[in-house]
Chains A and B, each alone.
Chain A
């Protein structure tokens, strides 16, 4: 297996870019400490109408959707048996692990009474009607599953460390026996909680703009868009790694993913427009208020990749694939931001925009993820071996 993947261990870890990311993370840490010492109010602009700000909506709702690469590829490879995408799976799992790990961390930071957090695991406290319970348990379980799914990479690395070879091999064998179950779990869990992240909006009722309040359709639209974003992030991350590390492009694989994305985006738009039209919300689409403008920006961002990917020529061009992927990432992110924050209206007089420390903490989280990603791909065998990828 070691011939499939390689660590970029000949490259230095401490690059100027890496240090910049660490510096941003350090600034974020200062505010992180402030949040725990002085309370959330000291760093965040959260209020009675907007209890969820950029931390929840970016770090958790958008962040986990961006971390759906592992999920999307797992479905493609293991459910639809598309083995040729296998080389992409380890980096995708890594981004998923980082994304979900930091979503969990973000949830902890945002949790007002974190010392009670374990109550969510105590059956006598559970409220099984609550979407939050489902999300909490599911995300916690999925972080564990992602770690198990990613552990072959770690074991592969461990095997090369002196004195660990035998043990690593034994663990690997043990893991192989049950791994298929965790892979299945790793497909089920994101389906569950990504749909639930949409279901959140149902209970918010009128506060969610009519163009985003699709009630019974919420879970479906959420999981569809998250799944699509998963493919997009794989393309995005792969393209950046290719250009950043001057590796061979994986464009031929991305083309296939692009084709899947095309179908998913079409389905998403069909469901969404179908629902909005059936529910008589066409008027809201053309109200040309904030909601309607955001809706069309979003729709344009969804439509662009559809346009690119529908063209067989552009679909095979690395640049166009990347642009389509980024457009999809922005579309999916905006879909979440719009519904839960930008057009979210709890009533007259409430307003929210993140405070500087609040936003820096989120940016610092992203910086930390990038720094950790760079460190891990240079230490552990994550990226496909060159000869293999371009085989």
Chain B
């Protein structure tokens, strides 16, 4: 990275304004942006771009819907720090409608939502939190007399981008588990044909939401996502792949009961039903919500239960064995045909020696043959039996 251009970008950011607005120091702010950029796998340039975008926000309007859920995503988001996140989120975006955080209530707020959607049609960011019940025309979840089905459909209509935040919104969450009486459904399944970025997790890691939104703010588009709508930067790897207990798995060291020797020594929790081997998330590298000190399920000695993985969390028994979806690192398994052969580099020389030896035999034969040519057996031909 070119130092000159770094400086140019850095000088283009009005840090005094940022410091005033967000209540963070320039140093803390840049550190934050660099950290977010790094978790995307992007360089310093992106960090500065991000800083620039945040310092001079277009403040995209945000409509935030709640469906069937426990408000866990919002609650965890509110508790995120570095910098104190409420400042950032409130100043970074224009949060026009959020049922939990709005000071107002009732028809007035609903009115504001409709006005905002009309005014910013095609420009606002729609965040969906919670599942959408489809059974019996969605009567199981209503806000202001409007079902979640209708509210979602209506809001999705003019949204520039849609983010499903949390497992409920991403794939239905706990209420979608069998028998699912309310027909709870995730936003991507409900909004067929629309691109929905999903940030699953129960609760989801706020960092994954924040990073995605910052990307949107910075570049005006959504980050690369997988077939389930999950941003690849956060969800492309199994927990098992980056888990710091993984060496114990590879070496066959397992905790078999809570509190046993292996558990105390921090061995792999696979035998206790850890779903890390089938769950895509970045918990091992980010841990949970900047709490620090190894705080995340596996970090505190509990098997991962696959909260973010459709078909795993709330679907598979807590202590049942996970399906191991990866066998990386690949070099850890020898192929069927790999053998412990001592390979000597001297085989070429050996082949030469063998050639010389056979050559000597044939040479001697030819030489002797030449001398013998014509030595007929006349001498002892007629029955000299028993001579």
Contacts and interface: CB of A to CB of B under 8 A. Distances in A.
Q: Is any CB of A less than 8 Å from a CB of B in the complex?
A: yes
Interface of A: 41, 45-49, 82-84, 86-87, 236, 239-240, 242-244, 249, 251-255, 316-319, 321-323, 326, 348-351, 353-360, 363, 366, 388, 390-391
A316 B381 CA distance: 9
A323 B387 contact: no
A326 B373 contact: no
Given A243-B368, A322-B369, A356 B380 contact: no
B378 A319 contact: no
A318 B370 CA distance: 9
B342 A41 contact: yes
Contacts of A316: 376-378, 381
A323 B371 CA distance: 12
Contact of A319 (B337, B374, B381): B374
A317 B375 CA distance: 6
Given A47-B342, A354-B347, A355-B344, A390 B375 contact: no
Given A48-B341, A317-B372, 15 more contacts: A48-B339, A240-B368, A252-B379, A317-B374, A317-B376, A318-B375, A319-B373, A321-B372, A322-B369, A326-B361, A326-B362, A354-B350, A355-B346, A388-B387, A390-B379
A10 to B, nearest CB: 21
B322 to A, nearest CB: 32
B350 A353 contact: yes
B260 interface: no
Nearest to A239: B368
Contacts of A254: 377
Contact of B341 (A239, A251, A350, A363): A350
Contacts of B38: none
Interface stretch (B26-34, B106-114, B195-203, B351-359): B351-359
Contacts of A349: 335-339, 341
Interface in B181-196: none
Contact of B374 (A318, A348, A357, A390): A318
A242 B336 CA distance: 56
Interface of B: 335-344, 346-347, 349-351, 353-354, 357, 361-362, 364-365, 367-381, 384-387
27 contacts: A45-B342, A47-B339, A48-B341, A49-B339, A49-B341, A82-B385, A83-B387, A243-B367, A251-B375, A251-B376, A255-B381, A316-B376, A316-B377, A318-B377, A319-B370, A322-B365, A322-B369, A323-B369, A349-B336, A353-B347, A354-B347, A356-B344, A358-B350, A359-B353, A360-B353, A388-B387, A391-B384
A389 to B, nearest CB: 9
A255 B376 CA distance: 10
A244 B379 CA distance: 20
Contacts of A359: 350, 353-354
A45 B344 contact: yes
A322 B347 contact: no
A47 B370 CA distance: 43
B342 to A, nearest CB: 6
A236 B362 CA distance: 11
Contacts of A46: 342
Contacts of B361: 326
Contact of A391 (B346, B385, B387): B387
Tell me what chain A mostly uses at the interface: helix, strand, loop, or mixed.
helix
A251 to B, nearest CB: 4
Given A83-B386, A349-B336, A243 B372 contact: yes
A353 B351 contact: yes
A239 B336 CA distance: 52
B371 A390 contact: no
Nearest to B365: A326
Contacts of B373: 317-319
B344 A253 contact: no
A354 B346 CA distance: 8
A350 B353 contact: no
A47 B387 CA distance: 53
A84 B340 contact: no
A319 B370 CA distance: 7
Ranked nearest first, the 8 interchain pairs of A and B with the lowest CB-CB distance are A349-B337, A252-B380, A318-B372, A356-B346, A83-B386, A318-B375, A355-B344, A252-B377
A363 B337 CA distance: 32
Contact of B372 (A239, A253, A348, A357): A239
Given A317-B375, A318-B372, A357-B346, A363 B353 contact: yes
A356 B337 contact: no
Contacts of B357: 363, 366
A323 B365 contact: yes
A58 B376 CA distance: 34
Nearest to A391: B387
Contacts of B376: 251, 316-318
A323 B364 CA distance: 11
Contacts of B344: 45, 355-356
A323 B381 CA distance: 21
Contact of B377 (A84, A242, A251, A323): A251
A39 to B, nearest CB: 11
B352 to A, nearest CB: 9
B365 A48 contact: no
A48 B342 CA distance: 10
A84 B339 contact: no
Contacts of B384: 84, 252, 391
A210 to B, nearest CB: 21
A357 B347 CA distance: 10
Most chain-A CB neighbours within 10 Å: which of B344, B347, B351, B372? Answer: B372
B342 A322 contact: no
Contacts of B380: 84, 252-253, 390-391
A45 B377 CA distance: 47
Contacts of A236: 365
A57 to B, nearest CB: 13
B363 to A, nearest CB: 11
A348 B347 contact: no
Most chain-B CB neighbours within 10 Å: which of A236, A317, A391? Answer: A317
A17 B346 CA distance: 27
Most chain-A CB neighbours within 10 Å: which of B336, B338, B340, B379? Answer: B379
Nearest to A252: B380
Contacts of A240: 364, 368
